[in-house]
A and B are shown apart, each in its own frame.
Chain A
Amino acid sequence: MAKQKGFNPADYQVRKTNKAMAVFTWIVLVIWAIFNLYPLYWMFSFSLKDNQQILHTNKFGIPDGWPSKWRWKNYAEATDTGDFVRMFTNSIVITLATIVITVLAAMMASYAITRIRWRFSETMNKIFMLGITIPIQASLIPVYLVLSEAKMLNTYIALIIPYSAFSLAMALLICNGFMTQIPKELDEAAYIDGCGRGRVFFQVILPLMKPAVATCGIYTFLQCWNELMFSQTFMNGDMMTLPAGMQQLFGSHTTDWGTIGAALSIATFPTVIAYIMFSRRIQDSFIAGAVKG
């Protein structure tokens, strides 16, 4: 992992610190942090309440009667209606595969576009960039028909391929940004040493693109992890991803706020915990990427 060379947060400690300014900054940040955390806290708190508390007696506070009266039952009800382990597994497999395919395809394309000089490279890039603007909905039916014809509905591939295609443009944009920052002299030197394009790509360029992998990976993750429409249409029963499965579950529990809160919490906390564990790495990749890119 690229350590942040040259900027240690301590370096930024303002010498003649304006106390009032620092306090103001801190207050703004704390307020915004509360904006971000409160809805999550609220979700978790209502997952342990009954409707009476949520809607009437205890709207904001900690659930009544800790710990004996906290309604862990809500969680039992939520897990009873939905197989969360399965939904998570589906989402994780699909997302990981999409990231691998997207990043690899984007890197290769980016290499051909930014580092090999040819007549239509700019045009090619523009064409790929159109992909950013194409709404995923536009492909729903045509893609469905093709998948159906190929008997590939309800398999992981049915989502991985479209997700990769729709993540590609953004990944390419990011890769291009990084790729152009790598000095041309590097490949020139390698060519002079007699390396072919393939070797230059895999041995010189790719190792330098690690920060781009992280950035693309995160972006792609967000795009697929949240996708609802394709998943709802292409997947059935136990092949459904987390968003589609959740949406189905909500449809059937609209009025049990507690159960919904529990389901929301179950779907959210593994992601949050994983994020807390890796947050430094995620953020560092971003920062290292921007420093180099």
Chain B
Amino acid sequence: MKKFLATLLAIVSVLALSACGKDDGLTMWCIATKSDSNRHSYEAAIADMQKKYPDTKLNWEAYENNAYKEKIKAAVSGNNMPDIFFTWSCAFLGDFVKEDKVYCLDEVYAEFKDKLPEKMCKNTTYNGKKYGVPLTMNIVGLFANMDILKEVGYDDVPKTFEDLMTCCEKIKAAGKIPFGCAGKPDDTWCVTEYLESIIEKSVGAKTLDDIFMNGQTWDNQDVAKAVDLFQDMIKKGYFDPNGISLGNDEVKQNFMDGKYAFYMNGTWNCADFAKKEGLNVKVAEFPVINADKAELGQLIGGPSDTLAVAKSAKNAKETAKYTFELGQLICKYGYLDGCGLPAWTVDYDVSKINALTQSVAKIVTDSNYMVLFGDTAMPAAEAGKYLEQVKGVYGCTVDGATFIANLKKDIR
């Protein structure tokens, strides 16, 4: 019994010690974990900020993506938010704004409007008020391993859809796999990178945008046709059959190891591809499928990575100013590192940025319509139902007609 009590006492004293938290400076939560490609841009930006404001101490912590979503939601509902937090635009931040937990940035934005174009704030503007500081932005790109394409006689990424399909056929005949796409249930967003591009280039950007964001019905025969087209590609064996058992990291690694000719994914991958030695990659826009409705320059993507300020933040206005400056720096270093494209105006030398990111920058400059990733654009519950149907499409258990019928029923 004495031993028991002694142990208990020892533990209680440890607890007492651990319970004392530190409570000075600003707090920030983000998802730039040590292995995240954005890590360096955060570290560099924060170092700059510490130099500029040596009196303001920033305590920041990074969490793994999925764990973070839960953590921030729980913190919002528990009124336990950090002063500055990373968030995704549209529906994710929108839920917090609706609950009046986010500090409105309109007043402070005025100081930064020369450097931050208004249109970049579109996805974090609710009822005409701005709530988010955008960082980098990304689009979906069609990455091609040029060594494999050369083997089957292509010097450039196919420009038309027909040519792309011919190319796939040749790659398959040469014993290589055209596409790699992760299909594990928790990585369904990878499938949307393909599917959304195919739908957009079939039905047109405006129609897709209206379905995602503006309450249009999913009951659209062109969408069904696009889904069937995607499924045809799967059935023809253009996709790695192992993909369904793999996560995105594994598929990406396979692409970098030269296993696939094409990989469609976010342009945040540019830095990693550029860094990998012996990998000869080009990036292009997905070709138009139905020229009557879609055209080149219609992309999937847009500013999503955002910093926001909690309404509960200490000295919210000062914190907001700090956040804008921090966001601008993260954006700058992120762009220089090739992790994405800048949402902020560029006033620095960009000649050292990798060629891949520069070609993405060109695609974006030439673009005329961007539709945000569907799962970011929709509220969480809808996004879940949407992803579930997309998963069914990739597993070939749901065809185009069922896809639109189910989504019409589940969403609208």
Interface residues of A (CB under 8 A from B): 81, 93, 96-97, 100, 104, 141, 144-145, 148-149, 152-157, 160, 202, 206, 232-233, 236-237, 239, 247-248, 251-255
Is A233 a contact of B71 with CB atoms below 8 Å?
A: yes
Is B247 a contact of A148 with CB atoms below 8 Å?
A: no
Tell me which of A96, A100, A232, A248 contacts B33 (CB under 8 A): A248
Interface residues of B (CB under 8 A from A): 1, 4, 7-8, 11, 14-15, 18-19, 21, 33-36, 61, 63-67, 70-71, 74-75, 77-80, 247, 249-250, 252-253
Q: How far is the CA of A288 from the CA of B311 in the complex (A)?
A: 60
Q: How far is the CA of A37 from the CA of B7 in the complex (A)?
A: 35
Q: How far is the CA of A245 from the CA of B41 in the complex (A)?
A: 23
Closest Cβ of chain B: how far from A13's Cβ, in Å? 39
Is A236 a contact of B67 with CB atoms below 8 Å?
A: no
Closest Cβ of chain B: how far from A106's Cβ, in Å? 14
Q: Can you name the residue of chain A whose Cβ is closest to the Cβ of B71?
A: A233
Is B7 a contact of A145 with CB atoms below 8 Å?
A: no
Q: How far is the CA of A237 from the CA of B28 in the complex (A)?
A: 13
A-B CB contact pairs (8 Å), 16 listed: A93-B14, A97-B11, A145-B77, A148-B78, A148-B80, A202-B1, A206-B1, A233-B70, A236-B63, A247-B64, A251-B64, A252-B35, A254-B249, A255-B249, A255-B250, A255-B253
Closest Cβ of chain B: how far from A202's Cβ, in Å? 7
Given A144-B78, A153-B80, A155-B15, A252:B71 Cβ within 8 A: no
Closest Cβ of chain A: how far from B78's Cβ, in Å? 3
Given A148-B79, A202-B1, A253:B11 Cβ within 8 A: no
Closest Cβ of chain B: how far from A265's Cβ, in Å? 19
Q: Can you name the residue of chain A whose Cβ is closest to the Cβ of B8?
A: A100
Given A81-B35, A252-B64, A96:B11 Cβ within 8 A: yes
Is A154 a contact of B15 with CB atoms below 8 Å?
A: no
Is A254 a contact of B247 with CB atoms below 8 Å?
A: yes
- Report which residue of A152, A154, A155, A206 has the largest number of chain B beta carbons within 10 angstroms of its beta carbon: A155
Tell me which residues across on chain B come within 8 A of A239, comparing CB atoms: 18
Closest Cβ of chain B: how far from A148's Cβ, in Å? 3
Q: How far is the CA of A247 from the CA of B67 in the complex (A)?
A: 10
Q: How far is the CA of A292 from the CA of B258 in the complex (A)?
A: 64
Tell me which residues across on chain A come within 8 A of B1, comparing CB atoms: 202, 206
Q: Can you name the residue of chain A whose Cβ is closest to the Cβ of B15?
A: A156
Closest Cβ of chain B: how far from A236's Cβ, in Å? 6
Q: How far is the CA of A253 from the CA of B289 in the complex (A)?
A: 37
Q: Can you name the residue of chain A whose Cβ is closest to the Cβ of B256?
A: A255
* Across the A-B interface, the 10 shortest Cβ-Cβ residue pairs: A252-B35, A148-B78, A254-B249, A255-B253, A251-B64, A97-B11, A148-B80, A155-B19, A248-B64, A156-B15
Q: How far is the CA of A73 from the CA of B223 in the complex (A)?
A: 50
Tell me which residues across on chain B come within 8 A of A153, comparing CB atoms: 78, 80
Tell me which residues across on chain A come within 8 A of B78, comparing CB atoms: 144-145, 148-149, 153
Q: Can you name the residue of chain A whose Cβ is closest to the Cβ of B4?
A: A100
Given A233-B70, A253-B35, A248:B63 Cβ within 8 A: yes
Q: Can you name the residue of chain B whose Cβ is closest to the Cβ of A149?
A: B78
Tell me which residues across on chain A come within 8 A of B252, comparing CB atoms: 255
Tell me which residues across on chain A come within 8 A of B61, comparing CB atoms: 236-237
- Other A-B pairs beyond A149-B78, A156-B15, A233-B74, 11, CB < 8 Å: A81-B34, A93-B14, A100-B11, A141-B77, A145-B78, A148-B78, A157-B19, A233-B71, A251-B65, A252-B34, A252-B35
Q: How far is the CA of A252 from the CA of B63 in the complex (A)?
A: 11
- Report which residue of A160, A206, A236, A252 has the largest number of chain B beta carbons within 10 angstroms of its beta carbon: A252
Is A248 a contact of B36 with CB atoms below 8 Å?
A: no
Tell me which residues across on chain A come within 8 A of B33, comparing CB atoms: 248, 251-252
Tell me which residues across on chain A come within 8 A of B249, comparing CB atoms: 254-255
Q: Can you name the residue of chain A whose Cβ is closest to the Cβ of B77?
A: A145
Tell me which residues across on chain B come within 8 A of A96, comparing CB atoms: 7, 11
Closest Cβ of chain A: how far from B155's Cβ, in Å? 30
Q: How far is the CA of A239 from the CA of B253 in the complex (A)?
A: 32
Q: How far is the CA of A202 from the CA of B2 in the complex (A)?
A: 11
